[in-house]
Amino acid sequence: MITFITYLHAVLLFGFMAVAAFTDLRWRKIFNATTYTGAVIGLAVAGLNTWFGPADAAPTLSEGLTGWLACGAVMIACYICFPHGIGGGDVKLIALVGAYLGVFQGLEVLLWSLILGASVALIRLVWMLGPMELLRRLKVGIYSVLARGGFGVLTNEEKQQTNTDVFLGPCALVAVLIVQLGLMTN
């Protein structure tokens, strides 16, 4: 049975994700007002779900807290390992998703977000450089890693040309839709 809490949960999650996607595309930022407010409201809805009895699609407060912490921790690790690819807003956005969806669906959204982001980046690179130039640079990069033990053969200009801006907000919005609507289930 779908309850009011389930609808409230879905509408709020989609609303916060849409705002984050818009601000990420428009200003290249996911604002704290969106992520902090969204996480607090998500945990409050999870608390309502715990208080009034579990709804079918909304997590309980303990599941929401665990999802918020787990998704946030994984994103902090990504932020530390890839400081130029993952921003602080991205970390807080995926933590927000964990607060609404719990650990397993939150991590599924994270993986879909990264897959979509990597796909967009690859498409942009092929579009900007062309497939042959991209393959040449890949060959140079692999050779320098194997032969010299590190990158460094590409010039700074070539490195700058291969730097693509990936907006995780829109990718996360699409990932939430994929997971919530079950678009990739058997």
Cβ-contact 2, 57 below 8 angstroms: yes
Cβ-contact 16, 39 below 8 angstroms: no
Q: How confident is the model at residue 66 (pLDDT cuts 50, 70, 90)?
A: very high
* Per-residue pLDDT, 95: 98
Report the C-alpha gap between 91 and 85 in whole angstroms: 11
- How much is the pTM? 0.86
pLDDT in tens, 13-64: 999 999 999 999 999 999 999 999 999 999 999 998 888 776 667 889 999 9
The domains of the chain are located at 4-181
pLDDT in tens, 150-175: 655 567 776 676 677 789 999 999 99
